[in-house]
A and B are shown apart, each in its own frame.
Chain A
Amino acid sequence: MSNRPVTKIARKGFDARYCSDRELSFSSEWKTPKIFKQTSSSWTNTLGYVPMFMGFRQLNEDVPFTALMSSEEILGGYNTSCFTHANPTYIDSPDFYDGVVIDLNGDLYINPFHGYNWTDENEFAVLFLDSIYGDIPTTYPLKSGGVYLLGKGDIDVRTAFPADNSIDSRFDTLKIFKTGTLELEVPEKTFMESESYKTYTAEVEHNLGYAPMFLPQASVGWILNMQLEDTSFVVNDELGLLPGSRAGIDEAPVLDVYVDSNKLYLRLWRFAYSFGERYYNAVTITLYYTIFYNKINEELDLISG
């Protein structure tokens, strides 16, 4: 057993000394990702390594239900208060650079998702101190002013690079506002040729007054692949799979996960066949969500200056 000091905070109703990791709300043994920059602009890397990142899209009225070319006649029903993750949710992306990309040098490029007659309102990147490529510096000089640091016990907390400490008050972190389970109960349905499509929505209120960051990293226009298109599933568990390649009439259903200033939405689009009846099973789509206090469209730079 290690003699390293460990700081643990238990969730309500649990004893930090004996409970499992999942029953804790904080442990200095875990990495707490630290945000050093949020931006809607491209950025030239000054860190010397490639940082972990996350991207968000700001939608608008022109964004279709999926970014496939063939789908642009159906709008998604979004507006500029709607935000979602900037992950590809379809194979036939109009442009592979869409979203948030970091090049070999670690420089950030932001390219709003777009189609032939629409473009996202904006795109936001969240940059973390953790490295995905290259060694992080071994030290980070303290600047003057009050700083709260909590180490992991094996490195000098005063000189450790902030990514190696548990808490460093100079940087932002993902702060949990609310977690829960959102279930979308979708009834059995037979579409007639003339019906075109139907949407089903489940939502949860957060009422923060701004669009907050959320997990999991689900997005809008996620074309359900053949494994998922007519069955119950948990969104969190399937996000690593490739999406389907066709959506809309005669093709696969589409799933949306997005937030606005008041709510988190889980929405399913089901489509009819153009040549006859189309039957769908009754299914339940489950989302284990975490909503953070962090605002998506906030610009901050905590490492320069």
Chain B
Amino acid sequence: MSAPAYEEAPYYKDLVHNLGYKPLVMAFAYVESYLIRGWKQLPISYYRRYVDEEFGVIIEGKSLFYEHLDDNTIRFYGEGGTEVIVFLFLEPRKDAWYE
């Protein structure tokens, strides 16, 4: 799957786990912006508010999200400088354990 071209999230960072499958992801980020201030789980949508001398108040949509590029790599998208805390779960997949 190709990376989505979300213009509001131009920065990304790859997490290479080399598990050979797509693990469950629990990712957290602290967002301090217009309307939200706190730790939330990704994906997160939020707004940045700026005051422009010419145009007045400008509200810009932002987001933090991720995608599995393949079975070994997860790509995280968001504003530059954002710290994302990631937990990966070794989950059972097609070979169910206890069915």
Contacts and interface: CB of A to CB of B under 8 A. Distances in A.
B39 A176 contact: no
Nearest to B1: A227
A96 interface: yes
Nearest to B9: A242
A11 interface: yes
Q: Is the interface of B mostly helix, strand, loop or mixed?
A: strand
Interface in B78-99: 85, 87, 89-94, 96-99
Interface string A127-154: 0001011000000000000000000000
A133 B63 CA distance: 20
Contact of A240 (B67, B89, B94, B96): B67
Contacts, number: 113
Interface residues of B, number: 42
Interface of A: 11, 21-22, 25, 30-31, 33, 50, 52-54, 87-88, 91, 93, 96-97, 99, 101-104, 109, 130, 132-133, 176-181, 215-217, 225, 227, 234, 236-243, 288, 290
A33 B97 CA distance: 20
Q: Among the interface residues A109, A225, A241, which one has the most CB atoms of the partner chain B within 10 A?
A: A241
B97 A133 contact: no
Contact of B30 (A97, A109, A133): A133
Nearest to B92: A179
A93 B63 CA distance: 13
Contacts of B4: 225, 227, 241-242
Nearest to B36: A96
B24 A216 contact: yes
B96 A87 contact: no
Nearest to A240: B66
In order of increasing CB-CB distance, the 9 nearest A-B pairs are A240-B66, A101-B38, A96-B36, A180-B96, A102-B39, A132-B85, A96-B35, A180-B99, A132-B28
Given A242-B45, A288-B91, 18 more contacts: A25-B97, A33-B87, A50-B39, A52-B26, A91-B45, A102-B38, A103-B37, A132-B85, A133-B30, A181-B96, A215-B24, A217-B24, A236-B24, A240-B65, A241-B65, A243-B43, A288-B93, A290-B91
